[in-house]
């Protein structure tokens, strides 16, 4: 898959400036990036990472039969009549143990988590008990054998694969690792990603803008989006439209990172220097994706390192990141679910568009209503330069080519939060 800067070419991947459907562009990117090599981390440092191998438990969890409630361990047969007076012969707290075997007619006072004593086969909860003498309890409940008993290995059996490769380490997973006595885990590392903006018009400092200048938004936005996607970020700053400098910065960034993300300079303009430079030093595919916004997109390998060339318009940059970079970076990090969760939502306000051969990725407010369904309304402005409106969105509605979707119809929506 190679195509340099400039030149024409027939349409289809592997050629220059092909106009391709969204799914094809996504597929191409995903087929070009591999999972990162595993690293071993202390489990507490692995939250958010993805297991590279299965975790097999050496132990049963729970390790022994124990009580789920505070109460009295009994022979279930002793309380079959619904009321029984039993002699209390011992007390067991969580952490205690007794070798005493419970005889018929006896009960052992027992607290949640304590081992079920030998002989007992059920627990009557304390709410159904009354002490009628110093060592006699009246139990007024019928329980079946096994009642309120948590069996050994009921959660995890020794030898069982308790967590499989591909599992993201969440707080609950961390708890499981602790339970099965695993202190270090083999995980896919967080992708180290360098991010740069390009453009002579971009201003970073807080000084006044000279005519023609704008304040730079994409790099902080993309850096935050990268972190949110589980990446470690290096900020390369704003690089002026200088081919020599850009080549140097991108080459060195690619050599020391797992991926490079650039913003700006990938469309058809004369000053699209990212395009000129990457076309020269990397193995790039320049795409015109049949979507709006974010039509121009470049992907390739620079010294084997994936490079995502996102468009400069801020909304396009963000949407392009969502559609192409984020899924690919998640794949590198070992994730199984690459895209955002998608729901079929009810359109509450017309999603207006005209036919143009593209899928429109409209930014919407998505909320779950009392009918149990997700409902969407478009944010107030859909221009690719109108980031303030997009910042109010929490979803991207996938509006197929055509005359738009009127209120009351349905639309597929990617939920961003």
Binding of residue 241 to ligand AMP (CB under 6 A): no
Q: How far apart are CA 90 and CA 120, in angstroms?
A: 13
CB distance 281 to 302 below 8 Å = yes
Binding of residue 313 to ligand AMP (CB under 6 A): yes
Binding of residue 199 to Mg ion (CB under 5 A): yes
Residue 33 or 274: the one with the smaller Cβ distance to Mg ion is 274
User: Smallest distance from the beta carbon of 345 to ligand AMP, in angstroms?
Assistant: 30
| Of positions 38, 115, 265, 306, contacts Mg ion by CB under 5 A | 265
Binding of residue 296 to Mg ion (CB under 5 A): no
Binding of residue 237 to ligand AMP (CB under 6 A): no
Q: How far apart are CA 70 and CA 6, in angstroms?
A: 76
Binding of residue 264 to Mg ion (CB under 5 A): yes
Q: How far apart are CA 330 and CA 414, in angstroms?
A: 16
Q: Which stretch binds ligand AMP (CB under 6 A): 282-290, 309-317, 373-381, 391-399?
A: 309-317
Binding of residue 155 to ligand AMP (CB under 6 A): no
Binding of residue 197 to ligand AMP (CB under 6 A): yes
Ranges within 270-289 binding Mg ion (CB under 5 A): none
Binding of residue 404 to Mg ion (CB under 5 A): no
Residue 71 or 314: the one with the smaller Cβ distance to Mg ion is 314
- Percent helix, strand, coil in the chain (nearest 5)? 20, 35, 45
Joined tokens for residue 14: 């592997």
Q: Please list, in sequence order, all residues whose beta carbon lies within 8 angstroms of the beta carbon of residue 391, skipping any fewer than 6 positions away.
A: none
Residue 202 or 231: the one with the smaller Cβ distance to ligand AMP is 202
Residue 312 or 334: the one with the smaller Cβ distance to Mg ion is 312
Binding of residue 288 to ligand AMP (CB under 6 A): no
Binding of residue 300 to Mg ion (CB under 5 A): no
- For 90, other C-beta atoms within 10 Å of its C-beta total 15
Instruction: Return the HEC string of 146-187.
Output: CCCEECCCCCECCCCEEECCCCECCHHHHHHHHHCCCCEEEE
Binding of residue 334 to ligand AMP (CB under 6 A): no
| Of positions 133, 209, 214, 407, contacts ligand AMP by CB under 6 A | 214
Q: How far lies 264's CA from each of 113, 201, 228, 390, in Å?
A: 60, 11, 21, 18
Binding of residue 311 to Mg ion (CB under 5 A): no
Joined tokens for residue 8: 């024409």
Helix axes 243-256, 273-281, angle to 10 degrees: 50
Pairing of strands 84-92, 106-110: parallel
Applying CB under 6 A, the residues found at the interface with ligand AMP are 197, 199, 201-202, 214, 216-219, 263-265, 267, 269, 311-314
Contact residues: Mg ion, CB under 5 A: 199, 264-265, 312
């Amino acid at each position: 898959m190679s195509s340099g800067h400039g030149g024409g070419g027939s349409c289809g991947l592997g050629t220059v400036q092909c106009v391709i459907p969204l799914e094809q562009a996504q597929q191409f990117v995903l087929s070009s990036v591999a999972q990162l090599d595993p690293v071993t981390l202390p489990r507490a440092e692995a939250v958010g990472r993805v297991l590279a191998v299965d975790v097999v438990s050496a132990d049963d969890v729970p390790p022994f039969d124990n009580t789920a409630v505070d109460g009295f361990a009994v022979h279930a047969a002793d309380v079959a009549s619904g009321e029984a007076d039993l002699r209390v012969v011992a007390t067991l707290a969580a952490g205690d143990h007794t070798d005493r075997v419970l005889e018929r007619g006896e009960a052992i006072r027992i607290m949640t988590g304590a081992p079920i004593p030998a002989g007992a086969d059920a627990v009557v909860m304390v709410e159904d008990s009354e002490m009628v003498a110093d060592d006699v309890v009246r139990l007024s409940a019928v329980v079946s054998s096994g009642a309120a008993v948590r069996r050994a290995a009921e959660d995890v059996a020794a030898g069982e694969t308790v967590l499989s490769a591909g599992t993201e380490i969440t707080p609950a997973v961390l708890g499981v690792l602790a339970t099965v006595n695993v202190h270090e885990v083999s995980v896919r590392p967080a992708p180290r990603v360098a991010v740069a903006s390009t453009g002579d018009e971009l201003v970073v400092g807080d000084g006044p803008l000279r005519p023609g200048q704008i304040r730079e938004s994409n790099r902080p936005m993309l850096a935050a989006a990268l972190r949110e996607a589980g990446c470690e970020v290096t900020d390369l700053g704003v690089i002026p439209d200088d081919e020599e400098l850009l080549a140097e910065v991108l080459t060195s960034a690619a050599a020391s990172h797992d991926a490079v993300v650039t913003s700006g300079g990938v469309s058809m303009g004369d000053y699209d220097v990212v395009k000129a430079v990457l076309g020269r030093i990397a193995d790039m595919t320049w795409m015109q994706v049949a979507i709006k916004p974010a039509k121009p997109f470049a992907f390739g390998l620079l010294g084997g390192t994936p490079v995502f060339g996102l468009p400069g318009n801020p909304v396009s940059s963000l949407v392009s990141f969502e559609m192409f970079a984020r899924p690919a970076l998640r794949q590198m990090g070992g994730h199984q679910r690459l895209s955002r969760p998608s729901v079929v939502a009810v359109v509450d306000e017309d999603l207006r568009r005209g036919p143009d051969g593209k899928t429109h990725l409209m930014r919407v407010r998505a909320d779950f209503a009392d009918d149990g369904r997700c409902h969407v309304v478009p944010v107030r402005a859909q221009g690719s330069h109108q980031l303030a409106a997009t910042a109010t969105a929490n979803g991207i509605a996938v509006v197929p080519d055509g005359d738009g979707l009127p209120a009351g119809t349905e639309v597929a929506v990617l939920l961003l939060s």
